[in-house]
């Protein structure tokens, strides 16, 4: 019956009847593709796709990177990191002076600075912001532990009082945690300041659609003349790595963060700019010394000498990472690449293992976050090296928060992480790495009184040369005892369209948008 | 009819109750502590314990559930752990984008399925029919996230036809932003629609009343619209209705792939960050949507097929 169907006319009518559906579905996008009139004067907008949204504008409880990076755009600090990433420069403080006993630091405040609402910056704002920053109950109070109080000297000067000389003070003041915000705003909103920031930075918050978009506008009262050069920043949350890259390549966004290393060549090939901020984090293995035989220094040293760091840098990070030569990232003050770094040396590793209680090898378990191919690849390379000395590497993949829980509960064997240095000073990382009392030396149970004493001494030492010597000694001790095995310095990767200029993110994650221009 | 609708609407409550229990338990079964997800890697055990206490996660699970249920009954679905904002506000402001995307995808899906299925049915067992069936059989195996990336690469990067990602500024701009993801979802769902519609059209074409209609000299347009499509669409509608859950599921993934600020991307982010309150509320909203669409599907039967009656 079907084959005898007189179809010609029906077919034609069928096509007529359904073509409207296609037409309706397509007319919307086609209409949208027609050129639209531009409205008014040109407003220069920078559109950025970021991998995650921020959580709070209040530095006090901040823990996540997107919040840190965005707060650094809206707030200024007394000092900022110099382009070298190793020193600080004046920002809201024009000069500073340390008392001869090293217990009081006074800061002369920049005059004529206004918040983005036009109200003037006063010493009271600075005192409030820094008093909250040094609070040991705050998330980052530990950065300022010897600082006891902050006081107003006069309208143009503030002072910080310490219980002992504190060399990392300026470095700590350059972090987001020491951001300066409006006291009036804090008094008005209290904890709700997390939603209502008011700073003196180049940009101010216009709107925040949680989880999807943050819009920042130029601070009309910004204290640096002629800056910022752009009027508006739209930060969109685009969680998918591929989509961020495609949005950049299609010209819909000007800037993206967290560029997947395996796509860097392709992005460069398409004429886009790639920015690799080196020395911000070190990929490392933390060894739990309560698990035998990791309590033996010879075993740990053997494990450290079978990591083929060149291979990890080249094959896992596509040549974008550099071989780590210290537990400290390369941009850290007093970083010493010659402090007897761990190297890939099978003969040395075998010799170390021969001196241990397990000369013929053993089985070692490393816990990795599931779904992280980069860490898996790096561990596989380590596993190949370990095989050469008779050690079998078992890789256990755990869901990220479970992994952190396991690490915090100190039930792990080998933990793999990339820790970032928030200040240019080595005190933060070396302090945590050696501090047995509060966190069992980053949960390694490495207990070296000599190293702990050196950290404390370096924290108090105000002479840079002497500090340099102390940190070289500490880096040597770390390389020798290998409580943590450093692998590579992992860069932070951004990419932008070729017509973006002046984008120079620093190792703290500060974007530096006030210098950015768009052709 | 009204009694039928009222009865069905009343049934929504126990279904949502069941869904709430399952989701409440499931999200808590996933390993991972929300306090750690919020505080990050540097958090000390003391701080984690404090936040857990603040979030009420130290209570026995049944007490947590009763607490949730009691608040939900009063219309309070809790605060987002992360944003410290009411979850209903966070979610409801994202619903329009998601609904537009689902509707747009369904429309494009129909625009693809109806012509192709009609053509395949009318030219049954010819090369045209074979090609259509082969293409759609192949399409069904393509993962939607992959299809989305390929379409984005082709239509947004190579040929800059469509905007990639974002929800647009409302109105037509939103439609423009949503075209590519809607097309992806539509292509993903269309194989099922084409196969279903083709079979039902063939069945109708072979039926006696169509032959009779032809013999009576009915105009082809009358025959097509009043006989073929109307009768062919009834079973097709049930296929469409049944697949709404799938359509919504596809939307969730695609929203994440294209960075669309809808409830789907919110759900995925919240699962990853263990933001329990959001996951619970979004799931309830999506479950409600599926139930509602199923009800509408049943009602559409009555419109298309007078034999279907809701009277007892």
Q: Cβ separation of B205 and A210 shorter than 8 Å?
A: no
Interface A-B, measured as beta-carbon pairs within 8 A, has a size of 179
- Predicted local distance difference test score (pLDDT) of residue A34: 46
Cα B221 to Cα B85: distance, rounded to the nearest angstrom: 56
Mean of per-residue pLDDT scores for chain A: 88
Q: Cβ separation of A33 and B38 shorter than 8 Å?
A: no
Q: Cβ separation of B149 and A246 shorter than 8 Å?
A: yes
A175: tokens are 């972090």
Chain B partners of A244 at a C-beta cutoff of 8 Å?
Answer: 259
Q: Cβ separation of A401 and B32 shorter than 8 Å?
A: yes
State how far residue B173 is from chain A, nearest Cα, in angstroms: 7
pTM of the model: 0.81
Instruction: Choose the closest CB to A401 out of B162, B229, B274.
Output: B274
* Closest to A286 measured CA to CA, from A44, A18, A483, A72: A483
Q: Does A35 touch chain B (CB under 8 A)?
A: no
Chain A partners of B161 at a C-beta cutoff of 8 Å?
Answer: 29, 33
**Top-confidence residue, B28 or A393:** A393
Contact assessment for residue B281 and residue B87, using Cβ atoms and an 8 Å cutoff: yes
Instruction: Choose the closest CB to A64 out of B40, B153, B160.
Output: B40
Chain B nearest-CA residue for A409: B45
Q: Cβ separation of B82 and A402 shorter than 8 Å?
A: no
Chain B partners of A21 at a C-beta cutoff of 8 Å?
Answer: 107, 110-111, 114-115
Cα A339 to Cα A15: distance, rounded to the nearest angstrom: 78
- Predicted local distance difference test score (pLDDT) of residue A14: 53
Cα B265 to Cα B252: distance, rounded to the nearest angstrom: 6
Please tell me the least confidently modeled range out of A92-101, A176-185, B273-282. Answer: B273-282
B240: tokens are 């469409």
Instruction: Choose the closest CB to B258 out of A28, A194, A243.
Output: A243
Cα A516 to Cα A497: distance, rounded to the nearest angstrom: 12
Tell me the β-bridge partners of A208: A214
State how far residue B206 is from chain A, nearest Cα, in angstroms: 6
Q: Cβ separation of B161 and A33 shorter than 8 Å?
A: yes
Which strand (E) or helix (H) includes residue B148? helix B144-152
Please tell me the least confidently modeled range out of A163-172, A215-224, B44-53, B143-152. Answer: B44-53
Q: Cβ separation of A247 and B164 shorter than 8 Å?
A: yes
Q: Kindly indicate the confidence band of residue A3, based on its pLDDT and cuts at 50, 70 and 90.
A: very low
Residue in B29, B30, B32 to test binding to A, most A beta-carbons within 10 Å = B32
Chain B nearest-CA residue for A7: B122
Q: Cβ separation of A211 and B48 shorter than 8 Å?
A: no
State how far residue A260 is from chain B, nearest Cα, in angstroms: 15
Given a cut of 50, whether residue A116 has pLDDT beyond it is yes
CB within 8 Å of chain B, chain A residues 403-442 = 404-405, 408-409, 417, 419, 438-439
Instruction: Choose the closest CB to A250 out of B34, B156, B220.
Output: B156
Chain B partners of A16 at a C-beta cutoff of 8 Å?
Answer: 221
Chain A partners of B220 at a C-beta cutoff of 8 Å?
Answer: 9-10, 12-13
Chain B partners of A17 at a C-beta cutoff of 8 Å?
Answer: 221, 224-225, 229
State how far residue A132 is from chain B, nearest Cα, in angstroms: 17
Chain B partners of A211 at a C-beta cutoff of 8 Å?
Answer: 83, 90, 94, 261, 265-266, 269
For Cα atoms A86, A87, A90, give the angle at the middle one, nearest 5 degrees.
150
Q: Cβ separation of A211 and B266 shorter than 8 Å?
A: yes
Q: Does A393 touch chain B (CB under 8 A)?
A: no
Secondary-structure breakdown of chain A: helix, strand, coil percentages, each rounded to the nearest 5: 35, 25, 40
Q: Tell me the pLDDT tens digit for each residue of B197-256.
A: 888 888 888 888 888 888 888 887 788 777 787 777 777 777 777 777 778 888 888 888
Instruction: Choose the closest CB to B265 out of A26, A55, A239.
Output: A239
CB within 8 Å of chain B, chain A residues 256-285 = none
Cα A431 to Cα A429: distance, rounded to the nearest angstrom: 5
Instruction: Choose the closest CB to B206 out of A1, A209, A238.
Output: A1
Tell me the β-bridge partners of B79: B86
Q: Tell me the pLDDT tens digit for each residue of B38-69.
A: 776 666 677 777 777 777 787 888 888 888 88
State how far residue A23 is from chain B, nearest Cα, in angstroms: 9
Q: Tell me the pLDDT tens digit for each residue of A195-230.
A: 999 999 999 999 998 888 999 999 999 999 999 999
Given a cut of 80, whether residue B310 has pLDDT beyond it is no
Chain B partners of A241 at a C-beta cutoff of 8 Å?
Answer: none
CB within 8 Å of chain B, chain A residues 105-124 = none
Q: What is the DSSP string of A150-161?
A: EEEEETTEEEEE
Is residue A247 classed exposed, middle or buried when 0-12, 13-18 and 19+ CB atoms within 10 A define those classes?
buried
Q: Cβ separation of B115 and A398 shorter than 8 Å?
A: no
Q: Cβ separation of A236 and B165 shorter than 8 Å?
A: yes
Is residue B52 classed exposed, middle or buried when 0-12, 13-18 and 19+ CB atoms within 10 A define those classes?
middle
Q: Tell me the pLDDT tens digit for each residue of B266-308.
A: 888 888 878 888 898 999 888 888 888 888 888 877 777 777 7
Q: Tell me the pLDDT tens digit for each residue of B68-113.
A: 888 888 888 888 877 777 888 888 888 888 888 988 888 888 888 8
CB within 8 Å of chain B, chain A residues 174-203 = 194
Q: What is the mean pLDDT of residues A453-467?
A: 93
B73: tokens are 């009954």
Instruction: Choose the closest CB to A22 out of B85, B111, B179.
Output: B111
Q: Does A64 touch chain B (CB under 8 A)?
A: yes
Q: Does A29 touch chain B (CB under 8 A)?
A: yes
CA torsion, ordered B299, B303, B307, B310, to nearest 10 deg: 30
Q: Cβ separation of A55 and B40 shorter than 8 Å?
A: no
Given a cut of 70, whether residue B15 has pLDDT beyond it is yes
Please tell me the least confidently modeled range out of A154-163, A370-379, B30-39, B174-183. Answer: B30-39
Contact assessment for residue B19 and residue B63, using Cβ atoms and an 8 Å cutoff: no
Mean of per-residue pLDDT scores for chain B: 82
Q: Cβ separation of A439 and B82 shorter than 8 Å?
A: no
Map A471-497 to HEC letters.
HHHHHHHHHHHCCEEEEEEEEEEEEEC
* Closest to A489 measured CA to CA, from A366, A335, A274, A268: A335
B304: tokens are 């298309």
Q: Kindly indicate the confidence band of residue A32, based on its pLDDT and cuts at 50, 70 and 90.
A: very low
Q: Cβ separation of B32 and A236 shorter than 8 Å?
A: no
Please tell me the least confidently modeled range out of A142-146, A168-172, A407-411. Answer: A407-411
């Amino acid at each position: 019956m079907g084959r005898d169907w007189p179809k010609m006319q029906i077919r034609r009518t069928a096509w007529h009847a359904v073509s409207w559906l296609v037409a309706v579905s397509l007319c919307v996008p086609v209409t949208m593709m027609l050129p639209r009139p531009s409205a008014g004067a040109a407003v220069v907008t920078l559109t950025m796709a970021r991998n995650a949204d921020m959580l709070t504008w209040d530095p006090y409880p901040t823990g996540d990177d997107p919040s840190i990076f965005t707060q650094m755009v809206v707030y200024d600090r007394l000092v900022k990191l110099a382009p070298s990433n190793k020193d600080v420069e004046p920002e809201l403080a024009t000069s500073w002076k340390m008392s001869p006993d090293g217990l009081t630091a006074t800061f002369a405040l920049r005059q004529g600075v206004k918040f983005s609402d036009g109200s003037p910056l006063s010493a009271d704002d600075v005192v409030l912001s820094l008093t909250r920053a040094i609070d040991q109950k705050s998330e980052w109070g530990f950065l300022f532990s010897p600082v006891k109080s902050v006081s107003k000297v006069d309208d143009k000067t503030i002072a910080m009082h310490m219980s002992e000389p504190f060399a990392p003070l300026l470095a700590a003041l350059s972090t987001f945690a020491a951001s300066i915000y409006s006291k009036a705003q804090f008094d008005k909103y209290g904890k709700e300041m997390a939603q209502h920031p008011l700073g003196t930075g180049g940009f101010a918050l216009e709107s925040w659609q949680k989880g999807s978009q943050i819009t920042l506008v130029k601070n009309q009262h910004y204290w640096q003349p002629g800056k910022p050069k752009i009027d508006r920043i739209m930060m969109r949350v685009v969680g998918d790595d591929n989509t961020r890259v495609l949005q950049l390549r299609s010209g819909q966004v000007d800037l993206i963060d967290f560029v997947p290393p395996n796509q860097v060549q392709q992005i460069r090939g398409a004429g886009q700019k790639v920015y690799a901020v080196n020395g911000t984090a070190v990929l490392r293995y933390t060894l739990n010394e309560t698990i035998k035989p990791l309590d033996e220094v010879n075993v740990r040293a053997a494990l450290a000498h079978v990591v083929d760091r060149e291979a990890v840098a080249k094959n896992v990070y596509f040549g974008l990472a550099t071989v780590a030569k210290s537990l400290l990232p390369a941009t850290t003050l007093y970083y010493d690449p010659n402090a007897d770094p761990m190297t890939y040396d099978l003969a040395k590793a075998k010799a170390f293992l021969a001196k241990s209680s397990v000369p013929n090898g053993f089985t070692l378990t490393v816990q990795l976050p599931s779904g992280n191919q980069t860490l898996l690849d790096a561990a596989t390379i380590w596993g190949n090296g370990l095989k050469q000395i008779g050690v079998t590497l078992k890789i256990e993949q755990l869901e990220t928060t479970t992994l952190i829980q396991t690490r915090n509960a100190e039930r792990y064997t080998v933990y793999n992480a990339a820790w970032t240095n928030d200040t240019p000073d080595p005190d933060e990382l070396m302090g945590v790495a050696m501090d047995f009392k509060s966190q069992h030396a980053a949960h390694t149970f490495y207990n070296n009184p000599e190293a702990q004493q050196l950290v404390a001494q370096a924290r108090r030492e105000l002479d840079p040369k002497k500090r340099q010597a102390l940190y070289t000694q500490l880096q040597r001790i770390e390389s020798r005892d290998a409580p943590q095995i450093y692998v590579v310095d992992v860069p932070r990767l951004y990419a932008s369209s070729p017509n973006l200029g002046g984008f120079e993110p620093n190792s703290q994650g500060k974007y530096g948008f006030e210098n950015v221009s768009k052709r | 009819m009204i009694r039928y609708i009222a009865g069905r609407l009343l049934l929504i409550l126990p279904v949502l109750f069941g869904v709430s229990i399952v989701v409440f338990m499931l999200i808590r079964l996933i390993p991972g502590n929300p306090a750690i997800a919020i505080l990050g890697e540097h958090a000390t055990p003391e701080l984690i314990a404090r936040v857990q206490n603040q979030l009420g996660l130290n209570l026995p699970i049944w007490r947590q559930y009763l607490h949730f249920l009691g608040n939900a009954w009063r219309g309070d679905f809790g605060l987002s752990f992360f944003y410290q904002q009411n979850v209903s506000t966070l979610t409801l402001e994202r619903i329009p984008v998601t609904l537009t995307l689902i509707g747009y995808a369904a429309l494009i899906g129909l625009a693809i399925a109806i012509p192709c299925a009609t053509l395949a049915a009318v030219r049954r067992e010819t090369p045209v029919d074979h090609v259509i069936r082969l293409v759609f059989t192949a399409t069904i195996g393509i993962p939607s996230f992959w299809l989305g990336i390929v379409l984005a690469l082709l239509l947004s990067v190579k040929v800059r036809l469509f905007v990639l990602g974002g929800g647009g500024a409302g109105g037509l701009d939103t439609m423009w932003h949503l075209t590519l993801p809607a097309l992806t979802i539509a292509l993903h769902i269309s194989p099922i629609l084409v196969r279903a519609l083709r079979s039902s059209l063939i069945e109708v074409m072979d039926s006696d009343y169509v032959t009779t209609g032809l013999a009576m000299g009915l105009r082809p347009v009358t025959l097509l619209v009043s006989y073929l499509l109307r009768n062919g669409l009834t079973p097709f509608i049930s296929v469409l209705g049944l697949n709404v859950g799938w359509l919504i599921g596809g939307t969730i993934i695609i929203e994440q792939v294209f960075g669309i600020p809808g409830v789907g991307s919110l759900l995925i982010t919240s699962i990853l960050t263990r933001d329990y309150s959001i996951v619970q509320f979004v799931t309830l909203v999506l479950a409600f949507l599926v139930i509602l669409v199923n009800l509408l599907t049943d009602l559409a039967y009555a419109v298309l097929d007078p034999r279907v009656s809701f009277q007892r």
